[in-house]
Structure 1
Amino acid sequence: MPELLNTIVHPDCRHFRGDLPCRPNKTDGYVCDGCPVYAPATSRILIIKLGAIGDVIRTTPLLRRLRQERPGCYITWLTLTPAILPQGEIEEILKFDFASALQLQGREFDVVINLDKEKEACVLLNTIQAKEKFGYALRPYDGVAWPVNQLAEHKFLTGVFDQTSLANTKPYVQEIFELCGFDFRGEEYVFDTHDDKGYNWTSLPAARPRIGLNTGCGDRWTTRLWSTEKWIELIDGLQAAGYTPVLLGGEAEDARNRELHAATGAAYLGTFPLPQFINLMNQMDGIVTQVTMGMHISIALRKPTILMNNIFNPHEFDLYGRGQLVQPNRECVCFYRGTCRLGTSCMEDLPAAKVLQAVRESVPLGQSVA
């Protein structure tokens, strides 16, 4: 159209939408001609990390290195859970559905990183045009996930053979950095605390330090479950030592948390939507948790995290020097198993006193980190 040809437009700008006015235009009335915030995208990167929520959270350190290595890059992230990602830190967050997959297949990227082995994620890597590809693709003739680059082979094999996974000594974040050709330098998670929402926590006990107790473990790996009796013993010990325990969880943990509240008087505020739950966790001075979404949130919030682990490789988790990983006194023989081979989970051999001591060492009395 002649009108467009006679108008200065910068489609390469990181703010430019094409289907809608950009934010600088809406907020400040800027147009492309002479725009003071014009920011051309130097490269375009697509991250495919669909789920689960915890895995999405612990992939966010990649954002820090990508910004450093490729200043001015425009990052698109495809996921099943857009709400968990830091909205102001990523130019484009897409929910995985047919419409998103369709439009991505019609675009070109400088880099595409796929960190999921699900077939739908792998086939997207096959079909999207990019100068560089990292992670996993789909082998067309047998439909199995396969490393698209040599750097992805280590992480690929830890998910194929239990023996390889057990022998691995690298944390997950280091593995995905190396998969992309980066050395891991301790980059922290990129996360939104949702403090700007102004949630009212006047019902929280004022006494500090507050220790959040994330009592659930999900319904897939129930071998991680700690008994109600153990939680009561820990709560009693925390209260006697001068800590303020606060029960945390979602709908699946609600009945248990109500039972624990009734038995011990430990604070329990109920269940909340995810952003509010994250902000509630941010009010804590330390978190005791299983390997769950709550663990990833705790690490992302930079809380001292006391991580109770039995069935997973302990090297997989990087607590960034905050907190401790504690394991049962009996060696676990159910690596990545949802049911215990011996009938009674070794989690019953994790003493409450051992967890309490880890809290004492990680969150000294009189210390508040929230």
Structure 2
Amino acid sequence: MYRCNKASQQLQKTTIYAQEHQTIMAQLNGITVHPDCHHFRGDLPCRPNKTDGYTCADCPVYAPVTSRILIIKLGAIGDVIRTTPLLRRLRQERPGCFITWLTLTPAILPQHEIEEILKFDFASALQLQAREFDVVINLDKEKEACALLNTIVAHEKFGYALRPADGVPWPVNELASHKYLTGVFDQLSLANTKPYVQEIFELCGFDFRGEEYVFDTHDDKGYDWSQLPAGPSPRIGLNTGCGDRWTTRLWSTAKWTALITKLQAAGYAPVLLGGEAEDARNCELNQATGAAYLGTFPLPQFINLMHQMHGIVTQVTMGMHISIALGKPTILMNNIFNPYEFDLYGRGQIVQPDKQCVCFYRGTCKLGGPGCMEDLPAEKVFEAVLESVPM
């Protein structure tokens, strides 16, 4: 396994420097300063000072940081969302910790639950390399993320580093081996029976206890959803897209039409969901069936729209992760991925084509033709809705 002796030596030097520096900085011109406080900024007045005029000497909300943790999870958006259960366990195991999260998509993270959220760029990487952490967790195998783990000083490191000899991502310790190997051998990935969340918990040395996602519903924004179907009928969100990378997941317009017709006949209120890539399809489905379609929205508003649903039908995509994070009964249509990877937390069902898929993690069907998703009957998805979201 990769070991970074130079980082260990640098850690000792940095720790001594930080302790000496903090002792000096505790008094500036006779004024008490607490740089170890959760609220302290250093570049600007902290919020308690700005709003209440408190100073460090007698501050009633002084909250010393007990440990500093860095999570590196850059993307994709869905993977960032399903990493958030770690926050619950870290808070439990390390009360008073200060968590920094480095990502490509800061907007998707719960802003009030994480002390510091940084967008991955040169400026963020530069300042992180000059800091010291108690724990650094890197959950990405992208080389830039692995290289950053190599160069950041920390007492404990988890996840993936970059092997200096050949520049390939590599487990930083034995805990990361399982998750690492399922990502480099399809045979092991197919045989895996652990959900993603359990895998990343074990990678960090934790046992998974069913910790839920940490997510923002954006209810505080006051969005107007008066155009949504009202009344007693349960609203079923239909997330009709699947992105442009794994198009073998795509369900045809005819199948969606059949499902909508069945839902309407049973008394449900289907609501079409998606982004710009799904707009034309959703407009077509709206005109053909009368299912509600309100258009496309910025991400926070889209999340809050999904929060208005009583259940969600989706393929494996960002919408699936949002649905799980919102605690919605989720009917997940899956074909090319290992179904054990997804934990619905006991809400909803995973439905798969009647024909076994042979295109594991493939973006195009190697057999040609429309692909196995056309062997997933609308009736099968409809029955899953009936069971998961009763009338």
TM-score using structure 1 length:
0.98
Amino acid at match of 2:360: F
Query: Corresponding residue for 1:234?
Result: 259
Amino acid at match of 1:154: H
Query: Corresponding residue for 1:289?
Result: 314
Amino acid at match of 1:18: G
Equivalents in 1 of 2:291, 2:96: separation in Å? Answer: 48
- Residue 81 (1) aligns with residue 113 (2): no
Equivalents in 2 of 1:30, 1:191: separation in Å? Answer: 31
Aligned pairs (5 A) from 1:1-370? 4-207=28-231, 208-343=233-368, 344-365=370-391
- Say how many residue pairs are matched: 365
Equivalents in 1 of 2:273, 2:57: separation in Å? Answer: 52
Deviations 1:220-260 (A, max 9, x none): 00000000000000000000000000000000000000000
Equivalents in 2 of 1:5, 1:61: separation in Å? Answer: 44
Equivalents in 1 of 2:360, 2:390: separation in Å? Answer: 33
Structure 1 stretches of 4+ with a deviation exceeding 6 A read none
The CA deviation at 1:192 is: 0.2
Match of 1:89, SS state, is coil
- Greater mean alpha carbon deviation, residues 7-16 or residues 20-29: 20-29
Deviations 1:65-99 (A, max 9, x none): 00000000000000000000000000000000000
TM-score using structure 2 length:
0.92
Amino acid at match of 2:148: L
Equivalents in 1 of 2:157, 2:225: separation in Å? Answer: 45
Structure 2, unaligned stretches of length 5 or more? 1-23
Percent identity over paired residues: 85
The CA deviation at 1:5 is: 3.6
Match of 1:347, SS state, is helix
Provide the aligned C-alpha RMSD in A.
1.0
Deviations 1:152-173 (A, max 9, x none): 0000000000000000000000
Amino acid at match of 1:80: L
The CA deviation at 1:30 is: 1.3
